[in-house]
Amino acid sequence: MFHKEGHKIVFVTLIIVVALFLLTDSFVSITWLSTLLMIVYLVFFILILQFFRNPKRLTHRNAETVVSPVDGKVVVIEEVFEKEFFNEKRLQVSVFMSPINVHVTRHPIGGNVIFSKYHKGKYLVAWHPKASEENERTTVVVENETYGKVLYRQIAGALAKRIVNYAKVDQTVLQGEDSGFIKFGSRVDLFLPLDTKIKVKLNQKVRGGESIIAEK
C-alpha cells in the first residue's frame, strides 16, 4: 500500500525507468554494462516504492498516552523552552527518520487541532541543533481533556524538499490517524508537559502510530 503523496512520483518514476530500460536495451551493446544499468534502474525504482509505502498500523487509542508520530530513532529527550506556541518549558522528544523509514506522520494524540502553521526555511541536516527553528517546518498543536496540549513539529532535512500537513485548526483528529508526510527524510519534534512520563530512551527505534512515547 502506497501513500497518496507518492502516487504521482511513483507513476512518473515508472515511466522513466521503463524508458531507460528500452533505451539501454537498444543502444548499449555491451552485455555486462547493459545488465548493470538495468539493475541500477530497478534498485532506484524499488527505493522510491519503499519510501512511499504506507503500512497499516494498529494504534491502541488511549487518551492518556502519546504515540510516536513517525517511524525512526529517538535522538533527543530534554527539557527545553518552547517559544513558538507555549512560551514555557516543555519536554522535547525528537524522532529522526532516515530515507528508508516510513515517512507518514501520524497524530500523537487524539483531540482538537488548536494550532497549525507552516514555516518556510532552510534545509540544514535534520540533526543540526538549529534545524528545529531554521528549517522548513510545520507546527501543529492538538489538545484533549485528558492529556492536555501536545505540539509536534515536522522538520525538513537536507534531502526533504516538501512537507505536507493535513491538520487544520478546529479539526477533530484521531490518535494514529495520518496528519502529514515529509518527502525524503527528516525528523519530528514532540513538545510535552513537564510532568509527562517518558516511555522511550535515546537511540530507541520507534514505530509511528504504535510505539508509546509518553503517558500521564
Q: Which of 68, 94, 132, 186 is catalytic?
A: 186
Q: What are phi and psi of 190, to 5 degrees?
A: -110, 140
C-alpha cell recorded at residue 175: 490518535
101-118 burial code (b ≥16 CB/10 A, e <16): bbbbbbbbbbbebeebee
Within 8 A by CB and 6+ apart from 177, the residues are: 106, 107, 110
Catalytic status, residue 26: no
45-54 burial code (b ≥16 CB/10 A, e <16): beebeebbeb
**Active-site annotation, residues:** 186
